[in-house]
Amino acid sequence: MNESITAIQQAIDGLDLDGIRALVMKCLEEGMSPEAIIQEGISKGLEAVGRKFEEGEYFLADLIMAGEVVKEAMPLLKERMNPGGSGKGAVILATVAGDIHEIGKNIVGMILSANGFEIIDLGVDVPAQKIMATAQATGARFIALSALLTTMVEGIREVVDSSKAAGIREQVKIVIGGACTSEDLCQEMGADAYGETAIDALKIFNSYSAAR
Ligand code: B12
């Protein structure tokens, strides 16, 4: 593992709000792509934070701080990714109702946008009705749902059910991801696909876009 990327993991794990920007700049100057910095540095650092929280070493305030450290890094990465919108289709992006985790969702949005998708980001804690109203108002047929809380996964089923109620289940593709999701959950909720990473999200939506 490259030393500079390990330093990013450690900065996130160590909640180093002041140091993160310089470390991200160093990786960029060394020629790493923003996508690699996100996957290898930021996501891995956050996994370590999550483990410490589970083990009782970190508390909620530390999770909030980890989120702030990541927010500090993101603009540097975002401005180096291509602007989106080259005709692959619009993706409605949301974290499910009751869940306010946004970092993974934002990464998915950045990667899809950098690769030609138009992103309609509805934010966090989004009720199914709002997602479906947006699909109907905009004609967007791709939906990306992020869920990190096991207790809130029913929000996925609600989106699937509301697409049925709206009569557009066959026209929309509902893709799920986020730490508490899985292939099995995808089947159980009746969604179309599960992706483990933001790069998987891109592969899945690319395949849907190509099949249109
Ligand atoms: C940071 C963090 C927070 C921050 C969020 C800050 C923010 N602005 O987003 C704050 C402090 C707000 C927070 C709050 C809480 N959190 Co929290 N949090 C985390 C932590 C440490 C990191 C999450 C994260 O950002 N990961 C990094 C991103 C990049 O990963 P990701 O979201 O999984 O996304 C990647 C992939 O999953 C994928 N992906 C994501 N979305 C999508 C969508 C699609 C379509 C696809 C294909 C792919 C995809 O792509 C991303 C990049 O590859 C995790 C630990 C962990 N290991 O996940 C706990 C964690 C998710 N939190 C947890 C808990 C319990 C909570 C609280 C309930 C704590 C409390 N007691 O209040 C609250 C819930 C508040 C709420 N109502 O939502 C638990 C959830 C347990 C569970 N399974 O239910 C975790 C797992 C910690 C733990 N180990 O216990 N949290």
- What would the pLDDT profile of 82-118 be if each residue is shown by its tens digit? 665 568 999 999 999 999 999 899 889 988 988 889 9
Spatial contact of 76 and 37, defined as CB atoms under 8 Å apart: no
Q: Is the CB of 146 under 6 A from ligand 1?
A: yes
What pLDDT, on a 0 to 100 scale, did the predictor assign at position 2? 86
Residue type at 107?
I
What pLDDT, on a 0 to 100 scale, did the predictor assign at position 111? 87
What pTM does this model have? Answer: 0.90
Biggest distance spanned by C-alpha atoms of the chain: 52
Q: Which of 80, 200, 204, 195 is nearest to 147 (CA)?
A: 195
Q: Is 31 buried (19+), middle (13-18) or exposed (0-12) by CB count in 10 A?
A: exposed
Q: Is the CB of 33 under 6 A from ligand 1?
A: no
Residue type at 184?
D
What pLDDT, on a 0 to 100 scale, did the predictor assign at position 114? 81
The residue ranges of the chain whose pLDDT is under 50 are: none
Point out the ligand 1 atom lying closest to the alpha carbon of residue 195: 47
Interatomic CA distance for residues 146 and 100, integer angstroms: 10
50 Cα–ligand 1 center, Å: 8
For the sheet with 193-194, list strands across it: 118-121, 90-95, 142-146, 173-177, 193-194
Dihedral over Cα of 190, 191, 192, 196: its sign: negative
Domain boundaries, the chain: 3-78, 90-211
Ligand 1, residues 49, 64, 101, 154: which to mutate, most atoms within 8 A of Cβ?
101
Q: Is 8 buried (19+), middle (13-18) or exposed (0-12) by CB count in 10 A?
A: buried
Q: Is the CB of 48 under 6 A from ligand 1?
A: no
What pLDDT, on a 0 to 100 scale, did the predictor assign at position 83? 64
Q: Which of 40, 44, 35, 46 is nearest to 69 (CA)?
A: 46
Interatomic CA distance for residues 140 and 198, integer angstroms: 20
Residue indicated by tokens 């310089």: 22
CATH class given for the domain over 3-78: mainly alpha
**Pairing of the two strands 142-146 and 118-121:** unpaired
What pLDDT, on a 0 to 100 scale, did the predictor assign at position 64? 92
74 phi, psi to nearest 5 deg:
-60, -45
What pLDDT, on a 0 to 100 scale, did the predictor assign at position 173? 98
Point out the ligand 1 atom lying closest to the alpha carbon of residue 197: 53
In which element (H, E) is residue 177 found? strand 173-177
180 Cα–ligand 1 center, Å: 8
The CATH number of domain 90-211, selected from 2.60.40.10, 3.30.565.10, 3.40.50.280, 3.40.50.150 = 3.40.50.280
In which element (H, E) is residue 143 found? strand 142-146
